[in-house]
Amino acid sequence: MLKVDDLKGVIPPIVTPVDDEENVDEQGLKKVIDYVISGGVHGVFVLGSNGEFYAFDYENKKRAVEITVRHVNKRVPVYVGASAITTKECIKLAKMAEDVGADAVTVLTPMFIKPNEKEMYNHFEAIAKSTSLPVILYNNPDKTTNNISVSLLEKLSKIDNIIGIKNTSFDFAQTVEYIRVTRDNKNFKVLSGSDYLIYATLAYGGAGCVAGTANVAPRLVVDIYEKYMAGDYKGAIDAQYRLIPLRNAYNYGSFPVPMKDCLNILGLDIGHPVKPIEHCSEEKLQAIKKVLDDLGLTNI
């Protein structure tokens, strides 16, 4: 089980390879896991938004978690997405993750519905109480249309096994406020969820990042974190700037396919996105290849 001091560094929300029937592809998933771990990441997050969690039924989700826990084999902590619209379904997923042997769960705000702050607090509290695993909150208002306010975050951070939050928001002031109101809480960490803001989050006292680009360029993302922690601030900011063109590649296709297309170009052969999402256009694939060429990734 994850301790709060272990919640740090670079945690890629790994893509989920699928077969022709859009079920989890075990061999593809193992390749992705080995690729990111060989790049020096500090954890693996399965069934995040980059992992198309919304696309899979319960059995496929369980299979993805089982494969990930077994194949990671304690090399790094395994974080499992336990996100759904209802509290009941989130609890079911959190219990599954605990039974299978995950180290922590990550839970998005509900999507589609619009709970008020009391309802949101009760939602996360019930999930946290349902499991002995640490819980990392996941704020992604652009995708879910629900936002964890600073005041709500401060209250939730006092629940014993809620130990952190990933903030995927371009409202960086909110990230700063998250850190400010929890900075005296030794049992709570704030992670960047925007790959543009990894260095900035670290500078304000954040613990690391959950970075989709770490699927593709794990060593580069790890460089930002490790150089920053070593006091090489110039090296860290240089790595951050080098990462930006890859983050911009998200705009080349429908989310979350660009990272899958990147990995296919690199030869991992992880297959297709789950429909209705389709691959990037040929023109955009060539643009992606240039980004990868410029980063020296196609020579690996």
Residue 10 β-bridge partners: 209
pTM score, whole prediction? 0.97
The identity of residue 222, as a single letter, is: V
pLDDT, mean of residues 98-106: 98
Burial class of residue 107 in the structure, from the number of CB atoms within 10 Å of its CB (0-12 exposed, 13-18 middle, 19+ buried): buried
What percentage of the chain has pLDDT greater than the value 70? 100
Judge whether residue 105 has pLDDT over 60: yes
Q: Which residues pair with 192 in a beta bridge?
A: 167, 209
**Catalytic annotation on 8?**
no
How far apart (Å, rounded) are the C-alpha atoms in residues 249 and 292? 10
Residue 218 pLDDT grade (very low, low, confident, very high; cuts 50, 70, 90): very high
Q: Which of 35, 79, 138, 225 is catalytic?
A: 138
Q: Report the DSSP beta bridge partners of residue 164.
A: 136, 189
Give which of 199, 204, 206, 201 is closest to 221, Cα–Cα: 199
Average of per-residue pLDDT values in the chain: 97
Q: What is the pLDDT of residue 300?
A: 55
Does the pLDDT of residue 1 top 90, yes or no?
A: no
Q: What is the pLDDT of residues 25-84, one digit of tens each?
A: 999 999 999 999 999 999 999 999 999 999 999 999 999 999 999 999 999 999 999 999
Above 80 in pLDDT, residue 299? Answer: no
At residue 114, the 3 state secondary structure works out as coil
pLDDT of 90: 98
- Calculate what percentage of the chain has a pLDDT beyond 90: 98
Instruction: Write out the DSSP string of 220-247.
Output: HHHHHHHHHHTT-HHHHHHHHHHHHHHH
Q: Are 208 and 225 in contact (CB under 8 A)?
A: yes
Q: Can you tell me the mean pLDDT for 193-205?
A: 98
54 in active site: no
One of 31, 61, 62, 166 is an active-site residue; which one?
Answer: 166
Q: Are 110 and 146 in contact (CB under 8 A)?
A: yes
* Torsion sign (Cα): 7, 218, 169, 51: negative
CA distance 149 to 171: 11
For residues 64 and 30, give the distance between their C-alpha atoms in angstroms, rounded to a whole number. Answer: 10
